[in-house]
Amino acid sequence: MDFSQPHILKRTGLKVGRLGLGAGYGAPATAYEEAFERGCNYFYWLSRKPGMQDAIKNICRQGKRDQLIVAVQSYSRSALWLEMSIKKALKSLSLDYADILNLGWHNQSPSKRIIDKALEMREKGYCRFLGLSGHNRSLFPKLAEKGIFDVFHVRYNAAHRGAEQETFPYMQGEDKPGVVTFTATRWGQLLNPRKMPPGELPPSATDCYRFVLSNPAVDLCLCGPKNTKQIREALRSLDLGPMDEAELQRMRKIGDHIRSKAIKFF
């Protein structure tokens, strides 16, 4: 398994880098462009920060739109607002279409009107494929059976490993939806020295991305960089490649410890 090589996002047929890039945390355009040159071409766009927007425009001006995979997400539960938000996003990015229209944060099946509107937008050419994100891991296999969605965004990290039983086994094969994971660092808690088991040093963000990507069911892992330094730390995971069993066991130990402490507060 070579993390530096492009990977096919299952049924979409899209060729993607193993690290995807999130837009909402403040990294500058130059950092995204540097990652793109390293093969990180899955750009998950939200409108909160300008860095990725500028990077997408710059990459497209270079004639490389066909190498870029742009995923645009909408949290709208209104069919009308879903259409309006995607059209607004495309206008902001100066794009004719998104590669993936992602329906955001659905822990139960989206309403028929939302699905129908998403299918209509795909039919009209506003997007090429449909995706869905959420935290209900058992929902993804049920939706996969319906054949509507081409990509799922799934929470997965060393502390949240339930997808290994509830989601990943049902996403095998080229005809299945692609798997994109998020929160590899568990919102930074896996990096926090105060959260570690006694005598254990915290892993790096690089370690967290390597842990996720070492699972063969994961097509790509999203990172949310705040600056160039964080993007370069994420890129290191591509050079180091998969973890060995000892490294994986250490990450699971740390994840279990963090998870056990968190449960006490609920």
Asked if residue 264 has pLDDT above 50, the reply is: no
* Mean local confidence (pLDDT), 17-35: 95
C-alpha closest to that of 42 among 4, 69, 64, 23 = 69
Task: List pLDDT tens digits, range 233-257.
Answer: 999 999 999 999 999 999 999 999 9
- Under 8 Å between Cβ of 23 and 49: yes
How does strand 220-223 pair with strand 178-182? Answer: parallel
The mean per-residue pLDDT over the stretch 110-123 comes to 98
pLDDT range class, residue 104, cuts 50, 70, 90: very high
Alpha carbon distance 121, 189 (integer Å): 38
Does any domain span residue 111? yes
User: What integer pLDDT is reported at residue 261 of this predicted model?
Assistant: 82
pLDDT in tens, 148-199: 999 999 999 999 999 999 999 999 998 999 999 999 999 999 999 999 999 9
Average pLDDT on 97-126 reads 97
Q: What's the pLDDT score for residue 24?
A: 82
Range 187-196, long-range pairs (CB < 8 A, 24+ positions): 189/159, 189/258, 189/262, 190/157, 190/158, 190/159, 190/254, 190/255, 190/258, 195/257, 195/258, 195/261, 196/254, 196/257
d(CA 105, CA 110): 10
- Residue 117 inside a domain? The answer is yes
Could you tell me if residue 213 is inside a domain? Answer: yes
Tell me how many domains the chain contains. 1
Specify the pLDDT at position 34: 97
Question: Does residue 207 form part of some domain?
Answer: yes
Residue 22 lies in a domain: yes
3-state secondary structure of 134: strand
Tokens at 55, concatenated: 């990077």
What pLDDT does residue 203 have?
Answer: 98
Q: What gap in Å lies between CA 128 and CA 101, rounded to an integer?
A: 8
168: domain CATH number is 3.20.20.100
The per-residue pLDDT for 46 is 81
Distance CA 25, CA 179 (A): 22
Quick check: is 120 in a domain? yes
**3-state DSSP percent of the chain in helix, strand and coil, to 5:** 45, 15, 40
Q: How far apart are CA 202 and CA 58, in angstroms?
A: 37
263 band by pLDDT with thresholds 50, 70 and 90: low
Asked whether residue 2 is assigned to any structural domain, the reply reads no
Average pLDDT score over residue span 117-136: 98
Residue 35 domain boundaries: 7-263
- pLDDT tens readout for residues 204-220: 999 999 999 999 999 99
**pLDDT value, residue 266:** 34
Nearest to 258 by CA among 206, 186, 208, 183: 186
Q: How far apart are CA 254 and CA 198, in angstroms?
A: 10
Mean predicted lDDT score pLDDT of the chain: 95
User: Would the pLDDT of 265 be above 60?
Assistant: no
Confidence of residue 1 (pLDDT cuts 50, 70, 90): confident
